[in-house]
């Protein structure tokens, strides 16, 4: 493999979990950028252990990341990879239709327009940090709704605060939507480009600067909920607080201005919902 050349993507029809496949390969020494893509997962998972319903009609891919930074700085990787997904969607002409729901879900609005809400979920990201004899690595898993989802039986089990899904086909009106293999290549390349650029900046940062510092200003521009009134939701679905989503700190925690003052919330503990 030539310097700068990424490994070929491995395509599978169905796997238990693309993250599990990539983690196993990462432990075996798979290089930075190695990626597996499947049309279906039988045991997919999301953040905080949630079940990720993974029917055929979507694409699921997971990439091995070896950014060469300290493991504690991996906390920025979900946001960095989400920015790569937005880069791809902008390339497809959807710049005004998509954004990031903190920390890393990809959300969309049905129609372009400043007053239209970003209230549909297009894609989800799960990053898992692991260790191996070759050093620490991460796996980024991405699930994208490529076509309208049709699930037989009772349908997917989602939490009450979950957004209704939308597919890339629906967003693009069925015109010009890439096929699964082409889209997987675009997404993998864009995420790796973002990770490499972020890692290069981290190498020049002063000690003590958090991992979000190199990307904060650009990340903010991709988060439509910023500046809006939000509810802070516990994993149980309980509303913990309400306030204004005012930004992020350099460690990626959401800064919410509540009646009791400024509060910082880690993504592992809460989610935000616009109200």
State yes or no: cis peptide before 173, omega within 30 of 0: no
Helix, strand and coil percent figures for the chain, each rounded to 5: 25, 30, 45
* pLDDT value of position 206: 80
Below-50 pLDDT ranges, the chain: 1-3, 48-49, 51, 152-160
* pLDDT value of position 161: 53
* pLDDT value of position 120: 94
| Rg value, the chain, Cα | 18
* pLDDT value of position 41: 86
Phi-psi region of 235 (alpha: psi -120 to 50; beta: other; left: phi over 0): alpha
Q: Which tokens in the block code for residue 185?
A: 């290549």
Which one, of 75, 77, 95, lies nearest residue 86 by Cα? 95
* pLDDT value of position 268: 87
* pLDDT value of position 48: 46
* pLDDT value of position 184: 96
* pLDDT value of position 163: 85
Question: What counts of helices (H) and strands (E) characterise the chain?
Answer: 5, 13
Around 21, how many Cα atoms within 13 Å sit in the side-chain half-sphere?
23
Per DSSP, what are the bridge partners of residue 123?
106, 144
* pLDDT value of position 175: 72
* pLDDT value of position 152: 46
* pLDDT value of position 44: 65
């Amino acid at each position: 493999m030539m310097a700068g050349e990424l490994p070929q993507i491995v395509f599978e029809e169905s796997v238990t979990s693309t993250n599990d496949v990539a983690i196993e390969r990462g432990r075996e020494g798979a290089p930075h950028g190695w990626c597996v893509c499947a049309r279906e997962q039988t045991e997919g998972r999301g953040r905080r252990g949630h079940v990720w319903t993974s029917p055929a009609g979507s694409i699921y891919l997971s990439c091995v990341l070896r950014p060469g930074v300290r493991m504690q700085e991996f906390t920025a990787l979900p946001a960095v990879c989400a920015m790569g997904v937005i880069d791809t969607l902008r390339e497809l002409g959807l710049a005004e239709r998509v954004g990031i729901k903190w920390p890393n879900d990809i959300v969309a609005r049905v129609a372009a327009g400043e007053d239209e809400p970003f209230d549909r979920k297009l894609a989800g990201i799960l990053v898992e940090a692991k260790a191996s004899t070759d050093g620490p690595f991460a796996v980024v898993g991405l699930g994208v709704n490529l076509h309208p989802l049709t699930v037989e039986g009772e349908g997917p089990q989602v939490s009450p605060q979950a957004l209704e899904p939308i597919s890339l086909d629906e967003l693009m009106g069925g015109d010009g939507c890439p096929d699964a293999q082409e889209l997987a290549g675009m997404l993998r390349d864009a995420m790796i480009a973002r990770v490499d650029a972020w890692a290069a900046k981290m190498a020049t940062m002063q000690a003590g600067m958090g991992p979000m510092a190199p990307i904060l200003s650009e990340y903010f521009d991709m988060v439509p909920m910023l500046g809006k009134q939000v509810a802070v939701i516990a994993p149980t679905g309980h509303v913990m607080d309400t306030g204004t989503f005012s930004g992020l700190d350099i460690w990626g925690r959401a800064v919410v201005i509540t009646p009791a003052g400024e509060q910082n919330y880690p993504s592992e503990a809460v989610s935000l919902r616009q109200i």
